[in-house]
Amino acid sequence: MKFLRQTFDLVEPHFTKGGKLEKLYPVYESIDTFLFTPGQVTKTGPHVRDSLDMKRMMSMVIIALGPCILMAMYNTGYQANLAIAEYGAEPLSDTLTEYVREPVMEFLGLPHDPTNHASNFVYGALWFLPVYLVTMVVGGHLELLFAVVRGHEINEGFLVTGMLFPLTLPPTIPLWQVALGIAFGVVIGKEIFGGTGKNFLNPALTGRAFLYFAHASFMSGDKVWTAAAADELGIDGYTNATTLTGLAATQVTPGQSVDIVASSTQNLTFWDCFWGLIPGSMGETSTFCCLLGAAILIASGIGSWRIMSGVVLGALAMGAVLFAFRDMSDNPLAYMNPFWHLVVGGFAFGTVFMATDPVSASMTETGKWWYGGLIGVMTILIRTINPAFAEGIMLAILFGNVMAPLIDYAVIQGNVKRRAARYATT
């Protein structure tokens, strides 16, 4: 490491102001700070000192995402192996499957057996990692391009965006759409507003929303959640709806009692959904893994427990209202027990990792409660009222992002008025 440090110090003058490679300083700086701790520290007062800089904060979020990442690989492989071994499906046919995935499985001697944990993890990783690599290559180069043109450092925030984005995608998403989605999220969701710290929308969700509306057939329905094919040619995706999609398609009449277990397409239980061995976006299925991430984010002071609590309370309140008046509706989602909303779809993942984005969320302490509550209420309303959007947390968070400045403004103005009134009476 000493030799590497000396090498970096030797070439640094070429990248600093006046050097031949001045324009490429962001590249030098990003590699240097990735390998070594920056030497610029505050040594004297009166500055506020904190050991948690941007890099450490982003690293902690990546650690918090660890359980969801591991679950994304395992569950993606488990769902595919389950469809292949027990329901007669075949490996989904594409170039990577033909030349990489199946040869690797054969080389390692791993069968498509859902009871084989190694097979589930390896096969799932072979689907998740290409999506992640495309995200990092395309999004990373765009970050680099904007950093060079603007002459600023590459922000570590993309490490989190680049991890969140693939976790919100179905395993069968074409890789060219992954590239298109992350490019849209980075450019339109962040860089066009000035980069990290200046964007008011979550870049990962912006990219996902773009794909959702631009290529809906690859992002929703019942044929995109399992990396397996239903026919011998391996062309059509294996049909396997998510819990929300299955329930939304259920026909009910007002006053009819609907059993959520019987109505879902796979007779899933509450705890099946809680642990996450169900079809869905790769990293969003396990509420348990999201809770582990929430504990890390709250303990480290990075994730706001007020926002998370606000989202949960808002969802439970709206779900309880709809459940109380379910006899007046023919919408099957109105018959869902409010607590079920917390474990299906991407609710837990969005609550823990998306709604708490420190850049696009409310800044004031009181505003965080209102911001979280608004997202919770909107999530259940979107899910229930519009059956075209069985998953509502994505649009609800983007709506919350837009409303966050207004919420903070209202909170601050309320404080100003209260203080003015207090001073007037003294």
223 lies in some domain: no
pLDDT at 290: 96
Q: Is the domain of 310 the same as that of 209?
A: no
CA 45 vs. chain centroid, Å, equals 39
247 lies in some domain: no
Query: Is 80 exceeded by the pLDDT of residue 145?
Result: yes
pLDDT at 365: 94
Q: Is the domain of 190 the same as that of 85?
A: yes
Q: Is the domain of 195 the same as that of 316?
A: no
What is the C-alpha to C-alpha distance for residues 38 and 270, in angstroms, rounded to an integer?
47
Q: Is the domain of 173 the same as that of 73?
A: yes
261 lies in some domain: no
Q: Is the domain of 59 the same as that of 206?
A: yes
Query: Is 90 exceeded by the pLDDT of residue 103?
Result: yes
246 lies in some domain: no
Q: Phi and psi (nearest 5°) for 146?
A: -65, -35
For 377-388, what is the mean pLDDT? 85
The answer to which of 62-71, 192-201, 203-212 has the lowest mean pLDDT is 192-201
At CA 309, angle to CA 307 and CA 315, rounded to 5?
100
What is the C-alpha to C-alpha distance for residues 293 and 305, in angstroms, rounded to an integer?
12
Domain boundary, last residue among 197, 218, 239: 218
276 lies in some domain: no
CA distances from 80 to 125, 165, 167, 225 (A): 12, 21, 17, 9
Q: Is the domain of 211 the same as that of 313?
A: no
In the chain, how long is the greatest CA-to-CA distance?
A: 82
pLDDT at 21: 78
- 293 Rama sector, left if φ>0, alpha if ψ -120 to 50, beta otherwise: alpha
244 lies in some domain: no
pLDDT at 226: 87
**pLDDT, tens digit, for every residue of 216-255?**
888 887 788 888 887 655 556 666 667 777 777 676 666 6
Which residues, including other chains, have CB under 8 Å from residue 163's CB and lie 6 or more apart?
A: 62, 65, 69, 132
Domain count, the chain: 2
Q: Is the domain of 211 the same as that of 310?
A: no
Question: Which among 228, 281, 275, 277 has a CA at the least distance from the CA of 390?
Answer: 281
Q: Is the domain of 80 the same as that of 183?
A: yes
22 lies in some domain: no
What is the overall mean pLDDT for the chain?
85
**pLDDT, tens digit, for every residue of 277-308?**
988 899 999 999 999 999 999 998 889 999 99
pLDDT at 358: 85
Q: Is the domain of 331 the same as that of 204?
A: no
Query: Is 80 exceeded by the pLDDT of residue 85?
Result: yes
Burial string for 1-17 (b: 16+ CB within 10 Å, else e) reads eeeeeeeeeeeeeebee
For residue 68, give its domain range. Answer: 54-218
Q: Is the domain of 98 the same as that of 212?
A: yes
Query: Is 70 exceeded by the pLDDT of residue 185?
Result: yes
249 lies in some domain: no
- 63 Rama sector, left if φ>0, alpha if ψ -120 to 50, beta otherwise: alpha
Tokens standing for residue 110: 């791993």
Query: Is 90 exceeded by the pLDDT of residue 75?
Result: yes
